[in-house]
């Protein structure tokens, strides 16, 4: 019987193949809340994968491990956004059982090569060999080590002017499985804080998508939940969309409820 954690690794490999084919859009959601029950709910929503955001939330290694347990035995791939392109943070996420990692603030080809190196075992990289939970607490360590290099997903986040300027060189780096455009940080880097819809930002995002696709590299956009926006990015050429997550859906549900109350002449507080 296949270990649930080896199943996670094989689902990650299958997701990479889906991205490479680019025959249908792929959706990733977000987890920002530490309650594993929230993750357990989201896992059943049908996303190809969920990004556990340890960059902008308060996850420690214990909370991360507990949240990863919600994915056990499911087809939803857990992807951890680490706080930096740091070998310790990447090793911690992968050893805890992540099927992939999202690495922020990749700025040039050296950053991209370092990311791949940090996520791959020798001879492709220098990841330390102690995949505790990832290998079902060493019960399936041989199977894990055999699968990991070709299965673990590595996503590079393109979210600053430097990355845009160095994009051609970044795209030449082998081992990056997808490039995710972070619109909000990109807009800030371009001098348009919190305005990803600014025409100059939008044109830059479109150019990044087109160049990734011309290089036959999977490309994702961190988008909202507006359907017209999502269709636009798919039309431009994105084949992966990171859209929706626990906090946004909670707030959206609350605001919708509040609006219905006010329409009925009722008010909170």
Q: Could you list the active site residues? A: 56
What distances in angstroms separate CA 185 from CA 45, 48, 70, 176, 188, one per listed residue? 27, 24, 29, 20, 5
Q: Is residue 112 within 8 Å of 156, Cβ to Cβ?
A: yes
Q: Which residues of 24-57 are buried (b: 16+ CB within 10 A; e: fewer)?
A: eebbbbbbbbbebebbeebbeeebbbbbbbbbeb
Question: In 33-160, where does DSSP find H-type helix?
Answer: 36-43, 61-68, 87-95, 109-119, 141-151
Distance CA 109, CA 106 (A): 8
Which burial class, exposed, middle or buried, applies to 218 when counting CB atoms under 10 A from its CB (0-12, 13-18, 19+)? buried
């Amino acid at each position: 019987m296949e270990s649930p954690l080896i199943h996670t690794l094989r689902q990650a490999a299958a997701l990479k193949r889906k991205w490479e084919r680019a025959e249908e859009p792929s959706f990733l959601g977000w987890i920002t809340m530490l309650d594993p029950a929230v993750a357990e709910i989201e896992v059943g929503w049908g996303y190809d994968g969920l990004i556990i955001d340890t960059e902008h939330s308060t996850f420690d290694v214990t909370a991360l491990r507990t949240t990863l347990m919600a994915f056990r035995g499911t087809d939803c791939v857990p992807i951890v956004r680490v706080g930096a392109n740091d070998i310790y943070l990447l090793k911690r996420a992968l050893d805890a059982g992540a099927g992939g990692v999202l690495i922020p603030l990749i700025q040039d080809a050296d950053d991209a090569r370092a990311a791949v190196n940090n996520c791959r075992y020798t001879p492709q990289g220098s990841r330390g060999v102690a995949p505790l939970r990832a290998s079902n607490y060493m019960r399936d360590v041989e199977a894990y080590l055999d699968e990991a290099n070709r299965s673990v997903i590595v996503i590079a986040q393109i979210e600053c002017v430097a990355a845009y300027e160095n994009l051609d060189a970044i795209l030449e780096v082998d081992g990056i499985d997808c490039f995710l455009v972070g619109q909000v940080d990109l807009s800030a880097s371009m001098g348009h804080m919190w305005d990803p819809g600014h025409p100059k930002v939008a044109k830059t995002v479109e150019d990044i998508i087109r160049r990734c696709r011309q290089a036959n590299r999977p490309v994702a956009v961190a988008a909202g939940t507006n359907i017209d926006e999502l269709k636009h990015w798919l039309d431009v050429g994105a084949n992966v969309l990171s859209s929706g997550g626990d906090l946004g859906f909670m707030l959206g549900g609350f605001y919708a409820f509040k609006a219905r109350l006010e329409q009925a002449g009722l008010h909170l507080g």
